[in-house]
Structure 1
Amino acid sequence: MLLCGCTQSTSGHVGSPSISYTEPPLPAGVAPAPTDRSTPAPAPGGDCGDPTASLRPVSDAGTPPSPTVDAIRARGRLIVGLDTGSNLMSFRDPATGMIEGFDVDIAREIARDLFGDPERLEYRILTSADRERALQESLVDVVAKTMTITCDRRERVAFSSQYFEARQRVLVVKGSPIRGPAELAGQRVCVVRGTTSLERLQQVAPTAEILTVPMWSDCLVVLQQRQVDAVTSDDTILAGLASQDPYLEIVGDSMGAEPYGIGITKSNEDLVRFVNATLERIRRDGTWTDSYNRWLSMLGPSPVPPAAVYQD
């Protein structure tokens, strides 16, 4: 019986399982940019004079007629398009669950002037590629989402006056041999679809192997997983990514200016003028500077808010 038991134990022995290692999965929605770029991508912006020139502000919703502003007030809330993956600009605070950031502060000030209450907001989460469609289909009242004012975009949507000037730069893991735009040639670079950052990257580094993603937080993931060599975007966005990982750094000179405006449906001129009145107020009363110091001080001392340019 003892022998039989030993034999049974031996025959029932299971060896150690084999272990295999695989590449981490890519985030959903990742796709390579087209590799056939024999015809250079158009430079961001086009030519329409000064694209940041907007409509002169009117703060009194009764003069001249303001159908869009009146309808928003009757609804009781401002519908804002943004995302929750742009740390420092618009993100969900994990401690409070609240959506916060520099762009959110701008939206709150518009709501303050509309209702006397900065909390009268409803958020619609958008990818960068969805911003124009959301405005054209009136799914949102405004887009406050690091939206660069360009001549091309102004053909489809309206913009407020400029409220921030970002600079496109490069984000890498500390110790990377990439020290700026000149080293992006032939490298794997992450960028979000539907952005001026993608257009400029195709101009500056046409031989780069470009991986496009829906959200900037996806670029953080693939950089941390070493599936790309660099990320390029506005310094505001890159600062938000770097703030989440001490092993990342922003390098190199600016690849170009990115003037931000609030996106508005093209036909809603009264809302453009109302938003511009809010932007004039926050430039004057220190609200803009307070918000910069709260969210973006890692970019350096607070600059002077960009001066508005008006076309009328």
Structure 2
Amino acid sequence: MTRVRVLAVALTATAALLAGCGYDATPLPKPKGDAGSSPAPAATPVECTNPTQSYDPSNDKAAAVKQLTNKGRLVVGVSGDTYKMGFTDPTDGQLKGFDIAFAQAIAKALDVTLDLRVISAAQRIDMLKNGEIDMVARNMTVNCDRWAQVGFSAVYYNATQKVLVGSDEAEKYTGPASLAGKRVCAPTATTSVANIKKIEPDVIPVEAANHTGCLIKFQNSEVDAITGDDTVLAGLAAQDPYTAVPQQEKLTDEPYGLAFNKDDVALVRFVNSVLDQMRADGRWTGIYDEWLKPTLKVAATPPAPVYGR
């Protein structure tokens, strides 16, 4: 099969728009703990028995705003090329998607300016720890290893890990065993890489900076399949008609949380209160129906929050 680079024009346009939109030029926030600011008390370490468990919600906006690195600004790390989750619309150069909508809602609730920073998956934790950003809204899976480094909101979406293959291979795919000896791509520093290798040890893992990089490798016949969250793979398949996400059992559960500096507990608590409101007033469903339902083609309900950390 000859794979056509159907994304070549769109990717080129997106790259050009990113270069011209000023995201890279966003002033770097001052690291947490700079002179003139009083450091917030560190979060008390809690044994991680349930990674989806977050802090009880609070409506204390003042305490949350006080933990922002820069006064009056919520700096959020997002994806710029994950179609339907966080991507740059080539028609107007604006960042849009499911994750972007949550970042917008939280900045509005805090009554502060929203600054979006396009980052890679590999940058998420270090940028939070260094105080360069206040929050990550970039399809980030909550797990105990990550809780040791950062803090998380309650789960705002339950994704699952699956596999994307060529459309002519979809009917032949019978599960992870079909990938033995094949080159499977996933972004660096994601749980997808370790998961697929654990599930099928004979997979040949290939890493890329992001899923768009994996798609380009696939189109160039450098890999045989791509693995990742169903939300991301559905977006890739929507962009390239020579790919498909076959009917399959999920490989893993991938609960998404909004991530924060580990010490910013007041900010996490306030965000949890905003997420509660969004579940109750229908905003969550509206965001899902706009961004994910058209590609995933299934109805969804908000995940029930788990508190008490």
Q: TM-score, normalised by structure 2?
A: 0.81
State yes or no: 1:161 paired with 2:154. Answer: yes
How many residue pairs match? The answer is 260
> Which 10-residue stretch deviates more, 297-306 or 193-202?
297-306
User: 1:47-96, CA deviations, whole angstroms, 9 ceiling, x for partnerless residues?
Assistant: 9321110001112324xxx1x52353972221000120111100000001
CA distance in 2, matches of 1:303, 1:233: 19
Kindly provide the amino acid, as one letter, of the partner of residue 59 in structure 1: N
Asked if the contact 2:67–2:264 (Cα under 8 Å) also holds between the matched residues in 1, the reply is: no
Pick the aligned partner of 2:100 from 88, 91, 104.
104
State yes or no: 1:149 paired with 2:145. Answer: no
Asked if the contact 1:73–1:114 (Cα under 8 Å) also holds between the matched residues in 2, the reply is: no
CA distance in 2, matches of 1:96, 1:179: 41
TM-superposed deviation, 1:299: 1.3
1:3 aligned residue: none
Pick the aligned partner of 2:202 from 188, 202, 207.
207
Asked if the contact 2:48–2:147 (Cα under 8 Å) also holds between the matched residues in 1, the reply is: no
Kindly provide the amino acid, as one letter, of the partner of residue 217 in structure 1: T
TM-superposed deviation, 1:179: 4.1
TM-superposed deviation, 1:146: 0.5
Superposition misfits of 4+ residues, deviation over 4 angstroms: none
Query: What's the C-alpha RMSD, in Å, of the aligned pairs?
Result: 1.7
Q: Secondary structure at the match of 2:58?
A: coil
CA distance in 2, matches of 1:201, 1:243: 23
1:48 aligned residue: 48
CA distance in 2, matches of 1:71, 1:55: 16
Which residues in structure 2 correspond to 1:1-312 (within 5 Å)? 48-62=48-62, 66=63, 68-70=64-66, 72=68, 75-115=71-111, 120-176=113-169, 177-251=172-246, 252-297=248-293, 298-311=295-308
Q: Secondary structure at the match of 1:75?
A: coil
Give unpaired runs (5+ residues) of structure 1.
1-23, 25-46
1:35 aligned residue: none
CA distance in 1, matches of 2:299, 2:103: 20
TM-superposed deviation, 1:302: 2.4
Which structure has the bigger radius of gyration? 1
> Which 10-residue stretch deviates more, 192-201 or 296-305?
296-305
Percent identical residues = 40
> Structure 1 311/242 Cα, relative in aligned 2: closer, same or farther at 3 Å?
same
2:18 aligned residue: none
Asked if the contact 1:181–1:253 (Cα under 8 Å) also holds between the matched residues in 2, the reply is: no
User: 1:269-288, CA deviations, whole angstroms, 9 ceiling, x for partnerless residues?
Assistant: 00000110111011111111
Give unpaired runs (5+ residues) of structure 2.
6-46
User: 1:107-156, CA deviations, whole angstroms, 9 ceiling, x for partnerless residues?
Assistant: 001011011x7xx2111221111110011001100000000000000000
